[in-house]
Structures are given as structure tokens and as C-alpha cells.
Amino acid sequence: MVRGSTAMDRQRIDKWLWHARVVRTRSDAAALVESGHVRLNGKRNRSAGQPVRVGDVLTLALDRSVRVLEVAGFRERRGSAPAARALYRDLTTGSGSRACAGPGSARKVSPPLRTP
């Protein structure tokens, strides 16, 4: 397949996860996919070579959270964190989202209510 100067329309799922900085290494991305912790458009995927396209929705079961990401673009090379955030739109809702909590934004937990 010859690549022209046109924009990429798809990318391997493991490579995209690595470029989007969801995982630290590409082998970690492949292991995450092959262990069944990634769903592509609601269907469990076990092939790290499965292509993703713009508009696809990935559901990722990570250590202590579940993230839902919509693919917004691709890159040829892994870039900085701000460039990686431009590759997806975070659809995760609820208080368990790592994407909503930035550095230094720890939530304050109120003490339990005392009943007389």
C-alpha cells in the first residue's frame, strides 16, 4: 500500500492507544487489548492490529477506572501530552474519571453525617 500526502483515515488500536498516551508503551497497549480490556464500538476486541477510525468509541477498563474515549484523530509519531489529548474526546461521565481530575484537583471528602 502506497501512502500519499492524504491524511490518515485509520490506525492500529495499539498504536493509537500509545500515541494518545493512554498507556506508557506500545507493548502495554497490545497487552491491554489482547487481555480483553478494550471494547471498540461496544464490542470486545482482542486483536491489537484492529484498525480504529475517527468517530469510533473505545471503552477501556483500566486499573481503577473505566474510560470512554471517542477517536478524534491520528498522528504519525507519539507527541507531547497536549498533542495526545487532541487525538480523543473523553466521554467518561461520573466521579471516577481520571480525565476530569487534573493535577492538584483532589476532591474534598466531607465527613460522614452523625445521627443523634
Q: Please report whether residue 39 resides in a domain.
A: yes
Q: Please report whether residue 78 resides in a domain.
A: yes
Q: Tell me if residue 69 falls in helix, strand or coil.
A: strand
CATH number of the domain enclosing 57: 3.10.290.10
Rounded Cα distance, 33 and 58, in Å: 11
In tens digits, the chain (116 residues) has pLDDT values of 444 445 589 999 999 999 999 999 999 999 999 999 999 999 999 999 999 999 999 999 998 899 999 999 999 999 999 999 999 999 998 644 444 444 433 444 445 566 66
Q: Please report whether residue 37 resides in a domain.
A: yes
Q: Please report whether residue 58 resides in a domain.
A: yes
Q: Tell me if residue 72 falls in helix, strand or coil.
A: coil
The structural domain count of the chain equals 1
Q: Please report whether residue 4 resides in a domain.
A: no
Domain of 60 in residue numbering reads as 10-90
